[in-house]
Amino acid sequence: MNLTKQNREYIEWVGELKNLIQTAQIKASISVNKELLNLYWIIGKSISEKVEKGNWGSSIVEELSKDLKKEFPNQKGFSRSNLFSMKKWFEFYAKSEIEIEKIQQLVGQIPWGQNVVIISKSKSIEEAIFCKLL
């Protein structure tokens, strides 16, 4: 095989491998996002239930934020405001007549920051779902 043909085959081969790597990275990011949103949903639900049924008051969120940051110092997402966003996010969709599993599938397809923006600007669940479908 001559050098020119070998170089061309090598370049094509490297290009194919780069595409495979990039595809795997995208799939991994989507999977991580889905798991993170599932975690945020569970945290939001738990906070909501403790505040509502446990009569703990919203000051518990400040304490929870401190404890989670202390336990997981290298992990972002446990600020007081983000925990309140998780609670608000859960409560926004919990009052829907749509099955929770369907809502979780839908909201799990977009990043957390966009979910927060959508619920803060939407007046209804239908409007929020429409925003997600765009």
Instruction: Provide the token pair at 125.
Output: 């669940």
Q: What is the residue extent of each domain of the chain?
A: 33-133
Tell me if residue 74 falls in helix, strand or coil. Answer: coil
What confidence tens digit (pLDDT) does each residue in 88-102 have?
999 988 877 777 777
CB 94 within 8 A of CB 107: no
CB 134 within 8 A of CB 109: no
The amino acid that residue 41 corresponds to is W
Residue 133 has pLDDT above 60, yes or no: no
Return mean pLDDT, the chain.
87
H helical segments located in 54-111: 59-71, 80-94, 100-107
Which single residue is written with the structure tokens 């409007």?
A: 127
- Span 64-73, mean pLDDT? 96
- Span 58-76, mean pLDDT? 93
pTM of the model: 0.79
The amino acid that residue 71 corresponds to is E
